[in-house]
Structure 1
Amino acid sequence: MISVRWRKVLGDLWLNKTRTLLAVLAIAIGIFGVGTVLAGYSILTHEINANFLGTHPASAILYTENADDKLAAAVESLPGVANAEPRRIVTARIQAGPNEYRRLLLFVIDDFNNLRVSTFKLERGNWPPADREILIERSALPLIKKEIGDTVIIQTPNNGQDHELKVTGIVHDPGQSPGDVDNIAYGYITLNTLESLGETRALNELRIVVDENSKDVTRITNVANQVRDVMEKRGYHVSHVEIPNAGKHPHADQMDSLLFLLEVFGILALILSSILVASTVSALLSQQIRQIGVMKVIGATTYQIAGLYFGSVLLLGVSGLLSVFLLACGQAGHSRYSQRKY
């Protein structure tokens, strides 16, 4: 049997059904908002960093002329250097439609089968690209509206002429910021293809990865300076040394800012739901001043009366939590059903 106290609590909530329902929904929305943002923050920050670090991003980039595998092998033998690889990036334009061009970053790689620094993976298509073929990063597909087997028109800065390349593969490069967000496309070609585009056949970057404390900027700087000294002794002129944001994805700060804003909104929703619950209880108390007086007359203590209304708040909170739990279970069941179906 339900005690008289709980019958009164349930009766009070039932008499104010609309207000009770709004309070429960507000609690559920606040808890769901905060929980979703915190879970999203935990998952996204972990996955972004894990995917980015899984590409073995360059700890430092030394810009020189005519970098090659011999130089990379010599640098790799130095203490503190785990890997070294020559690269080149050419800023070009790619045609996205009639008289419409997008910015294109061409990553020039000598040996696609021996990637060790700033790696990426083939999602579909052929690997490695042959001469006059190009791999496209998947985030650029909405920009250029091309697929495997299509021909793209590219203009390089040297002569500005149109050059046709065949798209033979789609890759995923977690080390790059999303192309559809930055309005930029990423392509990957060989040295032979670069030469056919009218550019100089040469690599001008040496990317290195330090062997320990890859996030320690001071250590990375010291190792990079040692590598620069060795390169200059070998006759290579190093124009400058770049140390990227060690251990962080290019969009890590933007993601942190976005998640922080979402978390603030979630907390505000929870605070507003708390205010609504307080308003509900306050309105209930103002309506029941006479009832409280009668209970005091027949011997009810202050703590007993306070316990009644605390029970109302407790029921509202439990109802909100139960609503969130049922919603989460429904989403999990739908997700498992979708996975089995597809």
Structure 2
Amino acid sequence: MSTLLRVKLRRDLRASWSRFVLMVVAIAVSLTVFGGMLCAWAAIGRETGGAYLSTEPASATIVLDRGVTPERMASVLAAARTRPGVREATGRTQFEGAVEVGGTVLDIPLQVFVAAADDPMRMVRFDLGQRGRWPPSGGEILLGTDSLRLLGVAVGDSITVHGPDGPVRLRVAGTVYDPGLAPSPQEQRGRGYVSATAVALPFDQVKVQVADPEGRARDRVVAVATEVGDWLRREQGLRVAEIQVPEPYAHPHQWQADVLLLSLMAGGAAALLLSTILVATMLNTLFTRQIPQLGIMKAIGARTGTVGRHYLVMISLVAAAATLIASAPAVWIGRTLLGTLLTTLGVRPVSLAAPWWAYVVILVAGLGLPPLMALPPLVRASRTTVRAAIDHHGAASEPGGLAVRLGRVPRLDRGLLMALRNTVRRPARFWLSTGLLAAAGAVFVAGMSLEAGVDAITREEAARRTWDVDVQLAAPAAREAAVEAARRVPGVTRAEGFGVMPVGVAGPRGFPVTWTYPDQGHGRITLIALPRGVTTFPKLLEGRALHPGESGAIVLSRTVRKKTVPALVPGDDVRLFIEGRVTSWRVAGIVEERGGDNVYVTAEGLAAAQGRPQQVDRLRVYTGGHDERTRDAVAAAVRTALADAGITVRSAASVSRAEAVGEGHMGPLLLVLLGIAVPLGVLGVIGLASTMSANVLDRTREFGIMHAIGARPRTVRRIVAAEGLLLALAGCVAAVVPAVALTWLLGAGLGNLFMNVPVPFRISVPGAVIWVVLALLGAALATDAAATRASRLTVREALAHL
């Protein structure tokens, strides 16, 4: 670049420094968001995948109908390792029981994983934390690191675990870090690890690893596990109750994090694209103002390539400055977001740094996209001929057709009329400004509306939970005895008993195969036996509901059908594996549920299938008062009453605890949209400021004439300010249809991902009002500089304007 062009470049940057600052800010804000999301997304798969694989997870868990001794399991495993496709095998068992601390039985259950004392931990292993060692002694237990605070205990304390064989007192000998499980606080469940010497239970789980690369395909894992199940039945005399095959080598919540980050990154990419379009538009306005200068440069010998390089350097400087400003915040946001999400997943990061290619993408996007988008106006300006420059008389200010029609509106304030006409004078500029504001408003309102939909779900679930206390029994008990013991408690108005147990669902042939993870929560299919007179039931989609007291009929949730036998329709037969026993049922209907994979039968039907009197292991207790104090008091009294009746209670707690579990899963939804709305809102304000600045420059002569004929500065200022407010209102109006559509799309998409059903469609009126107020405030701020300049414009400056 020649010396003269360098001088011109410096003068151009100095003369339009505010415009260039807006360009840099627009690109930097959107690049920061995009880069942060990209860094987090690029690293989260590595961290979650690495942490999950470090546990050497089982490809499949074959659940036996009844356990065997550790010695028998050892011989079975030795033979299982020789089966085709099996790389490794181990035997385990687990149970969930109440935990007692300091004489108080906690409402938080404890899930206990049991392994042989001589287990080499070649698979399904965990890392030992504070003072942890394996195997712990017979009177010791290891707790998950995040379970300590949840249970309110510390290393060295003693707890009493109520297991299948009664209470066992154990000392907390250390901690365990197990990234293969969802965090305890999120699941509201403690995690404990003991050896078979502490809890004398038979092993009922055969965990196998399928050899790579077949082990990466779930269909192949199912085939190998099914063959092993047939072999166990045929040659070992063991009956299989269920085969659990989760998504191979994937953390139970990893897909949620991926969806969140991909959504945020898509929003950041859209914001980056819009910012570069905005910058290209602002540059086009600048190039138009400099057409006379271009004519002079061409007249004295400047070539098209020389002029093009000059402007290319200009936009490259803007892109470089924005990239430099955005790089550090993008990395920081990426690391912070990644750390937060990994904490949510219960994963300790090895490194928060993104892979090298993520930084390259940020640099390429920041340095390359703005010049690329600005290329059309740049080429057009550099090709301006001397004749075209001579014929140029400044920006046209002739109002368009809409502006002319607005001028015919009777009894309209002349200042407001001028503001209306000037707002739509430049259609392309008008639509760019309103489009940016509309995009930000649509995303913001959709985010608030999605939150309203989630709140509606919470209220709906709370309305359906008309009972006050949930009681889980440690073992099934006679229905009449348990219900009557609860009913006699003072303050209890009603009690209902349910049978709740895990089951396997299969078609006419084969083993039941589920997506259940090792925590036995994610992907587990649960059977619920409904008593007579139950008042709550999910929404029916196909077929019919259960008739009171009928046997042999079953209702499945839509997700259970999808994951087990997709072709099932009402009237078909299905097999349930209940406690290792195969039973046949006729499908009565299909229901829709928000979360949970459940099947429903009547209490009489379950008793008939099991060939024994009705039993319950879950109670719903209704109280006269619905406040938390009454609920807690009744829960404690019900626990005592059931214990006096010889029934061991695993947990008794207010239904508000179920809401805490739901919040742990639903919390990230709002983050998706609000994280996108912020940069789009900033871009909208910048676009509005750019539009008003360009409009004032276009009408410099007009403002000069107004001042010459006696217009006061405050009158001119009011007109320009009104233009900005009208643009903001136009953006709010333009956001209505996109906001409604986006709310519906995101409610359907995210609802199906997180809860298996769409989020109820709600439009947040408070969210819309908040956005209108924010848009008007932003318009006032964005218009202030342009309005001030217009009000202070002198007649001499107007005459000197080309």
Query: What TM-score do you get using the length of structure 2 for normalisation?
Result: 0.37
Cα displacement (A) at 1:72: 1.6
Match of 1:272 among 249, 271, 274: 274
Q: Structure 1 residues 326 and 261, CA, compared in 2 at 3 Å: closer, same or farther? A: closer
2:263 aligned partner, one-letter code: L
**Alignment match, 1:58:** 58
Q: Output the CA distance in 1 between the equivalents of 2:266 and 2:146.
A: 29
Cα displacement (A) at 1:243: 1.4
Q: Structure 1 residues 158 and 13, CA, compared in 2 at 3 Å: closer, same or farther? A: farther
**Alignment match, 1:288:** 290
1:62–1:240 CA contact under 8 A, matched in 2: yes
**Alignment match, 1:69:** 74
**Alignment match, 1:234:** 236
Cα displacement (A) at 1:260: 0.4
Cα displacement (A) at 1:270: 1.6
Match of 2:181 among 176, 184, 187: 176
Q: Output the CA distance in 2 between the equivalents of 1:30 and 1:302.
A: 32
1:58–1:244 CA contact under 8 A, matched in 2: no
Between stretches 241-250 and 130-139, larger displacement belongs to 130-139
Deviations 1:186-224, CA, capped at 9 Å, x for gaps: 2112334335xxxxx222111111233211223322221
2:86–2:209 CA contact under 8 A, matched in 1: yes
Q: Secondary structure at the match of 2:107?
A: strand
**Alignment match, 1:90:** 95
Cα displacement (A) at 1:95: 6.3
Q: Output the CA distance in 1 between the equivalents of 2:262 and 2:327.
A: 24
**Alignment match, 1:107:** 113
Q: Output the CA distance in 2 between the equivalents of 1:292 and 1:93.
A: 82
Q: Output the CA distance in 2 between the equivalents of 1:250 and 1:185.
A: 17
Cα displacement (A) at 1:305: 4.1
1:72–1:86 CA contact under 8 A, matched in 2: yes
Q: Secondary structure at the match of 1:35?
A: helix
1:218 aligned partner, one-letter code: D
Cα displacement (A) at 1:123: 1.6
Q: Output the CA distance in 2 between the equivalents of 1:329 and 1:45.
A: 17
Q: Structure 1 residues 225 and 282, CA, compared in 2 at 3 Å: closer, same or farther? A: same
1:52–1:174 CA contact under 8 A, matched in 2: yes
Relative contact order higher in (CA < 8 Å, ≥ 6 apart)? 1
Q: Structure 1 residues 17 and 103, CA, compared in 2 at 3 Å: closer, same or farther? A: farther
Q: Structure 1 residues 75 and 113, CA, compared in 2 at 3 Å: closer, same or farther? A: closer
Cα displacement (A) at 1:242: 1.5
1:221 pairs with 2:222:
yes
Q: Secondary structure at the match of 1:63?
A: strand
Q: Output the CA distance in 1 between the equivalents of 2:273 and 2:106.
A: 49
**Alignment match, 2:158:** 151
Q: Output the CA distance in 2 between the equivalents of 1:330 and 1:263.
A: 15
Q: Output the CA distance in 2 between the equivalents of 1:49 and 1:326.
A: 26
**Alignment match, 1:207:** 207
- Trace 1:27-38 onto structure 2 (pairs within 5 A): 27-38=27-38
1:139 aligned partner, one-letter code: D
Cα displacement (A) at 1:321: 2.7
1:119 aligned partner, one-letter code: R
1:131 aligned partner, one-letter code: G
2:110 aligned partner, one-letter code: L
Cα displacement (A) at 1:316: 0.5
Match of 1:116 among 94, 117, 122: 122
Q: Output the CA distance in 1 between the equivalents of 2:100 and 2:259.
A: 33
Q: Which has the larger radius of gyration?
A: 2
CA RMSD of aligned residues (A): 3.1
Cα displacement (A) at 1:289: 4.4
Q: Output the CA distance in 2 between the equivalents of 1:101 and 1:238.
A: 33
Q: Secondary structure at the match of 1:101?
A: coil
Cα displacement (A) at 1:134: 1.7
Q: How many residue pairs end up in the alignment?
A: 324
1:84–1:206 CA contact under 8 A, matched in 2: yes
Query: What TM-score do you get using the length of structure 1 for normalisation?
Result: 0.81
1:31–1:270 CA contact under 8 A, matched in 2: yes
Deviations 1:152-206, CA, capped at 9 Å, x for gaps: 45444776x7x653221111112112223333322112334335xxxxx222111
Q: Secondary structure at the match of 1:214?
A: helix
**Alignment match, 1:337:** none
Cα displacement (A) at 1:80: 2.3
Deviations 1:120-152, CA, capped at 9 Å, x for gaps: 110221312223422112233442343311334
Q: Output the CA distance in 2 between the equivalents of 1:190 and 1:248.
A: 27
**Alignment match, 2:25:** 25
Q: Structure 1 residues 283 and 147, CA, compared in 2 at 3 Å: closer, same or farther? A: farther
